[in-house]
Amino acid sequence: MRQFSWFNATSLTLGFAFLYLPMIILVIYSFNESRLVTVWAGFSTKWYGELLQNEEFLDAAWVTVKVAFFSSTLATVLGTMAAQVLVRGGRFPGRTLFSGMIYAPLVMPEVITGLSLLLLFIGIGLDRGVLTVVLAHTTFSMCFVSVVVSSRLTSFDRSLEEAALDLGASPFDAFRLVTLPIIAPAVISSWLLAFTLSLDDLVIASFTTGPGATTLPIKVFSAVRLGVSPEINALSTIMIGIVTVGVITASLVSKRTALQQARAEQAAARTA
């Protein structure tokens, strides 16, 4: 057993306090009665009520979800294809450029990506709106998807695909019947990642959006620029709550499947 010193315990406690205290404080203050966010004036849920009546926020939320859904779905398809090409594609002309274009957006400052896409949309005369934001988000999320999926594909036993081919499956069938079901967890989590990235994005959306396509982060940003607001606290609490429930559920589910798998393997060892 490793020694777990007081030093380690302290750094963990302080570290996680640093990571979580700001959000906890935010959540607590979202239930503050007073508009003056810094003075505690008793428990209240009235800001949630006000938030739910604020049409602008609701519209922005709807636009954001729409954009996130379409862009993450598109990004998952394209990113999985790109991952397949990266890991299994072998050599083809322009491969270096291709992998460069996959990795570059991951480290590209958002201001540059946003600016360049905006200039493109203007250049080709595409009216800015939901479509342009979806295109922009798809482009950078597909790179994240392809990185996640290709790391799964790299550890994937290639002989499974070969076995499928050997048994008479066409390459497409081999992908559909063998590869996809096995890498499905990675594909799903990369879809979730793409969805969150899109929900979260302020800078690229600000550049590429147009009238009628204001997303939630843009709305939030313009609101908080002026200072702390209780409605934003309430909104943040809702978003933090959704994420927390989602992540915890996902980890519990995956823990349970791992446990079941371990039990099944034990049972197998016993019957053998």
Partner 1 sequence: MMRRTFLIALPYIWLLALFLVPFAIVLKISLSDIALARPPYMPQLDLTGGLAAVWDFITQLDFENFVFLTSDDLYWKAYLSSLKIAALSTAITLVVGYPIAYAMARAAKEWRPTLLMLVILPFWTSFLIRVYSWMGILSTEGVLNQFLIGIGAISEPLQILNTQTAVYIGIVYTYLPFMILPIYSALEKLDDSLLEAAEDLGCSRTTAFWLVTLPLSKGGVIAGCFLVFIPTLGEFVIPSLLGGSETLMIGKVLWEEFFSNRDWPVASAVAVILLLILIIPIVLFQRNEQKQREAEG
Partner 2 sequence: MAQSKVKPKQSPSTAAFEPWNDPNEKPLIQFKGVTKRFGDFTAIDNLTLDIFEREFFALLGPSGCGKTTMMRMLAGFETPTEGQILLSGRDIGDVPPNKRAVNMMFQSYALFPHLSVWDNIAFGLRREKRDKDSIASRVDEMLRLTRLEKFANRKPHQISGGQRQRVALARSLAKAPKLLLLDEPLGALDRKLREETQFELMDIQETTGTTFVIVTHDQEEAMTVASRVAVMDEGKMVQVATPQTIYEAPNSVYVASFIGDVNLIRGTANLRNVATAAPAAPESESETKPEPVTKIETDEDPRKPQPNDYGKWLHDRLLAPILGQRVDEPKALPAPTKAELAAAAELQAPVDVPEGGLTIDWAENTPALIAANGDPEFDGNEVVLALRPEKMGIAKTKPDAPNVMRGKVIDIAYLGNISTYHVELKTGTMVKAQVANTRRVSRRNITWEDEVWVSFSATAGVVLTE
Tokens of 49: 């009520």
Query: Is residue 181 near partner 2 by the rule CB under 8 A?
Result: yes
Residue 265 tokens, joined:
């393997």
**Binding at 225: pick from partner 1, partner 2, none (beta carbon under 5-8 Å per type):** partner 1
**Residues from 185 through 204 that contact partner 1 (CB under 8 A):** 196, 199-200, 202-203
Q: Return d(Cα 111, Cα 119) in angstroms, integer.
A: 12
Count other Cβ atoms within 10 Å, centred on residue 263: 10
* Tokens coding 220: 């939030």
Q: Is the sign of the CA dihedral 233, 196, 189, 97 positive or negative? A: negative
Which partner, partner 1, partner 2, none, binds residue 15 by CB below 5 to 8 Å per kind? partner 1
136 touches 117 (CB < 8 A)? yes
The residue among 93 and 269 lying less far from partner 1, judged by its C-beta, is: 93
What angle do helix axes 55-88 and 95-107 make, rounded to 10 degrees? 150
Binding segment for partner 2 (CB under 8 A), chosen from 5-13, 89-97, 160-168, 249-257, is 160-168
* Spatial CB neighbours of 268, under 8 Å, sequence gap ≥ 6: none
Q: Indicate whether 11 belongs to the interface with partner 1 (CB under 8 A).
A: yes
Contact 248, 44 (CB under 8 A): no
Applying CB under 8 A, which of residues 90, 109, 123, 168 lies at the interface with partner 2?
A: 168
State which residue, 109 or 272, has the beta carbon closest to partner 1. 109
At 110, is the secondary structure helix, strand, or coil?
helix
196 binds, among partner 1, partner 2, none (CB under 5 to 8 A by kind): partner 1
Nearest to 149 by CA among 104, 195, 180: 180
- Based on the shown chain and the rule CB under 8 A, indicate whether residue 107 belongs to the binding site for partner 2: no
Q: Quote the least distance from Cβ 268 to partner 1, whole Å.
A: 24
Name residues whose C-beta falls within 8 Å of residue 61's C-beta, 6 or more positions apart in sequence.
216
- Give the span between the Cα atoms of 67 and 269, in whole angstroms: 49
Per CB under 8 A, 247 contacts partner 1: yes
Contact segment (CB under 8 A) with partner 1 among 15-23, 160-168, 180-188, 259-267 equals: 15-23
Q: How far is the CB of 124 from partner 1 (least distance, A)?
A: 9
48 lies in the site for partner 1, by CB under 8 A: no
89 binds partner 1 (CB under 8 A): yes
- Report what 272 binds from partner 2, partner 1, none; CB cut-off 5-8 Å by kind: partner 2
- Chain residues in the site for partner 2 (CB under 8 A): 157, 159-160, 162-171, 173-174, 177-178, 181-182, 261, 264-265, 267-269, 271-272
